[in-house]
Amino acid sequence: MTLGPVVLDAAGLRLTAEEKELLRHPAAGGVILFARNFQSPRQLIALTTEIRALRTPELLIAVDHEGGRVQRFQEGFTRIPPMRLLGECWEADTAQARALAEATGYVVAVELRTHGVDFSFAPVLDVDFGSSSIIGDRAFSDEPAVIAALAGAFVAGSTAGGAASVGKHFPGHGYVKADSHVDVPVDERKLDEIEAADLLPYRDLIGRGLGGIMPAHVIYPKIDNRPAGFSSVWLKEVLRGRLGFGGMIFSDDLSMEGASVAGGPRERALAALEAGCDMVLLCNAPGSAAGLLDALKDRALDPRRAERMRGRGALKPLGSDMRYASAVAAIQGVSV
C-alpha cells in the first residue's frame, strides 16, 4: 500500500472516529498539526503514536514550527526566535549567526522528532522587501545572499537532527502587501527581477539537500496568470526544470483565499497536482475532506519523495544529547 497526496488536519487533542476513517483513505498521505492539537509533550506523543498506528507505511506528520509568531508547540519546547533575529545577528557576527541558525535547525528537528513529528514547514525563504505584514520577521533578511547562508545553516542543522526541511513560499511572498490567507496577492515584477532576488536562496539550497518546497498562493502575471501553486510554468518549468529540484512540492493550504481562483476544494487540488505539486494541504475544512479524498482516490504519492520527508535516525533521550544541550543554550542566549 502507498500513501496518497492529501495532507489533512485534526480538530483536537485526539483523533475522532471520523478522522481515523478519513486518514485511512488511500488518498490520505499526511497530517498537519496546529496549536489546537497540542496540550503537553506527553499528549502530543500519544497523538502522533495514534496517527502512526493507522496504516503502513505510516502517514507523514508535519507542523508549522518556524519560530517567533509561528510556533505551534510551546510548553516543554524551546522557544525559537523569529528568523529576523538571526539576520540581525548576522550584521554583528556572521560566524555566530550561522552557528545559531544551525543550532536552531537542530533543536527544532530533534524536539519534533522526539515527539513523533517528521518535519516542520520551514525555513521561510522569502525576501523581506518591507511590504508584507504576513511575512515580516518570519524572513531572515532583506538580502537574498544572507537568507541563503542562514537558511542553509538551518537546513544543515535540521538534517543533522533527523528532519527534512521545506522552503517556502516559492518563488517569493515577500514583495506583495496582500496576505494570501485572506486575499489573492498579485506580484507585478518580471521574471528577471524575481530570479535576481527571490530565487537565489532556492537555487542555493536545492543544491544542499532541501527536501521540500511550498509554493505561494501569489499570482505573477508577467510569468503566468495562475498562482504559483497552480502553475506548471513555475513548478515544472522553473522549479523542476531550470532549478533542478527533485524533492517534494507541497501546495499551501487549499482553503486559503489565495487558492480561490482555482475553484472549489476538488478543483483546487486537481489543479495543484496537475501543475506539479506532489501533496496538497486542506486545513480547517472538515466538510470538504471526504469529497476531496474520493476525488483523488487513484492518486499515489511518489514513495521516494515521501521517504525523503520522513524523520530518520535513532533518537537519543534529550538529556543525553550534548549537541542538543549546547544548541538550546545558544538559542536561549539571544532575545526571543
Is-catalytic flag, 181?
yes
User: Is the CB of residue 127 less than 8 Å from the CB of residue 182?
Assistant: no
CA-to-CA distance for 166 and 307, rounded, in angstroms?
14
Q: Looking at 118, 137, 252, 253, which residue is catalytic? A: 252
Cell numbers for 329: 543554550
State yes or no: is 115 an active-site residue. no
User: Residue 124 carries which DSSP code?
Assistant: B
181, 204, 217, 278: which one is catalytic? Answer: 181
CB neighbour list of residue 92: distance below 8 Å, 6 or more residues apart: none
Cell of 227: 498562482
Q: How far apart are CA 125 and CA 285, in angstroms?
A: 27
**Residue 66 one-letter amino acid:** E
What phi and psi values does residue 33 have, to the nearest 5 degrees? -100, 150
Q: Position of cell 478543483?
A: 267
Q: Is-contact 232 215, C-beta < 8 A?
A: no
Q: Which amino acids are annotated catalytic?
A: 181, 252
